[in-house]
Amino acid sequence: GQQVMQIPQYQHVQEGEDFTTYCNSSTTLSNIQWYKQRPGGHPVFLIQLVKSGEVKKQKRLTFQFGEAKKNSSLHITATQTTDVGTYFCAGPRTGANNLFFGTGTRLTVIP
Amino acid sequence: DVKVTQSSRYLVKRTGEKVFLECVQDMDHENMFWYRQDPGLGLRLIYFSYDVKMKEKGDIPEGYSVSREKKERFSLILESASTNQTSMYLCASSLSQTGRTEAFFGQGTRLTVV
């Protein structure tokens, strides 16, 4: 069945260090979305990528969609304690019209 | 501001009880979803609905049912709660069926079955 894996599952970084999470799909995706869930909170939409090779930036966050549209990455430059949370990627479910979520990467930032 | 509201933040129920989790959205969205979140497993889809009185099974529907009598309300029902249903339950809604529009989530219900 369809799988969307994220690595790493957990990441601890010192404040100021960079962080990257990778999302790998077993199928080609028409688009990919990224969500952030703060501790004790609910997932909140960050961004959507649609085009092959697309790169988008939001301040210190850089999102990339792979050329084959089967993988994506989220890179955070100079992490801050406000970046703490779990980051999920999500893509359209094969043969259905809803989202299939990745396993998530939980980021801890040590002050 | 768009809003998805779940009826309870925390629930403790006994094994065998019938449990109702309620979700209401105020965005006039056609599509509503129930996900279950467990550590290391991400968000797994239980059921979804594209219209009133319409429902479709997701990845893990066993032990659950749903009801959508009104467009704004989507209920998740645990017919006979079991301890392996202890989890975080998240309701979501979206405008489009295509998976190309963002999902808006409720605050979640942490259910403990004892």
Give yes or no for A99 touching B (CB within 8 A). yes
With b meaning 16 or more CB within 10 Å and e meaning fewer, what string describes A45-65?
Answer: bbbbbeeeebebeeeebebbb
List the one residue out of A86, A75, A67, A61 whose CA is nearest residue A29. Answer: A67
CB atoms within 10 A of CB A32: 28
List, for residues A49-107, the tens digit of each pLDDT value. Answer: 999 999 999 999 999 999 999 999 999 999 999 999 999 999 988 777 788 899 999 99
Instruction: Write out the H or E segment, with its range, that includes residue B34.
Output: strand B31-38
Contact: B99, A88; criterion CB under 8 Å: no
Residues 31-60 of B with CB under 8 A from A: 31, 33, 35, 40-45, 48, 50, 56, 58
- Best residue in A35, A98, A101, A106 to probe B by mutation, most B CBs within 10 Å? A98
pLDDT given for residue B53 in this prediction: 86
Burial B35-63 (b: 16+ CB within 10 A, else e): bbbeeeebbbbbbbbeeeeebeebeeeee
pLDDT surpassing 80 at residue B97: no
Q: How far is B40 from chain A (nearest CA, A)?
A: 6
Signed CA dihedral, A74, B93, B50, B62: sign only: positive
Buried b or exposed e, range A73-93, using 16+ CB within 10 angstroms: bbbbeebeeebebbbbbbbbb
Q: Measured between CB atoms, does B108 come within 8 Å of chain A?
A: yes
Task: Report residue B63's pLDDT band, with 50, 70 and 90 as the boundaries.
Answer: very high
Distance of CA A82 to the CA centre of its chain: 16
Q: Assess whether pLDDT exceeds 90 at residue B40.
A: no
Whether residue B107 and residue A42 make contact (CB cut-off 8 A), yes or no, is: yes
Interface test with A, best of B8, B23, B29, B37 (most A CBs within 10 A): B37
The DSSP string of A12-43 is EEETT--EEEEEEESS--S-EEEEEE-TTS--
